[in-house]
Amino acid sequence: MTKAATLIIAVLISNTVFAKQKYYKWTDENGSIQYSLEKPKNNQTDEINISTNQPIVPQETTGKLQQEPADKSYMEKHYEKKKKAEQIAKDNRKHCLQAQQTITKYQQQVRMSRIDKNTGETIYLDDSK
């Protein structure tokens, strides 16, 4: 177990050291720009710090990561309109079926009635009552 822990620590340290390594930039006699890990002795150099670590990019959990293109093609617009029309038609069919079921329910109900308090007789109500 200690060998594995030592190996992991060594890899992490070497990765950190390599990530912060210095590079040197200079122009040679021919006018070409050269890069090196070692500083040349005869030339004037610029020291460059280059990070080889990958940047950490936060991930959004609630928003869209990619923006929709501003200009959609004709086919994309047509497809969206078609999908919207299909959804509206589906909702209309659902509401129509509910209305038909409600009508059937009312048609199958027994006429409304009440019992007269004085006589105990059943009195059927019509549309005017």
Interatomic CA distance for residues 27 and 43, integer angstroms:
8
Q: Please tell me the chain's helix, strand, coil percentages from 3-state DSSP, rounded to the nearest 5.
A: 40, 15, 45
Interatomic CA distance for residues 38 and 21, integer angstroms:
11
Cα Dmax for the chain:
126
Domain locations along the chain? 1-47, 74-129
Tell me how many degrees the CA angle 117-121-126 measures, rounded to the nearest 5. 100
Interatomic CA distance for residues 74 and 81, integer angstroms:
11
**pLDDT of 67:** 56
Report the predicted TM-score, pTM, of the whole model to 2 decimal places: 0.31
**pLDDT of 90:** 95
pLDDT tens, per residue, the chain with 129 residues:
577 666 566 656 655 545 556 777 878 788 888 777 777 777 677 777 666 666 666 666 555 555 555 677 888 889 999 999 999 999 999 999 999 998 888 777 767 778 888 998 888 777 665
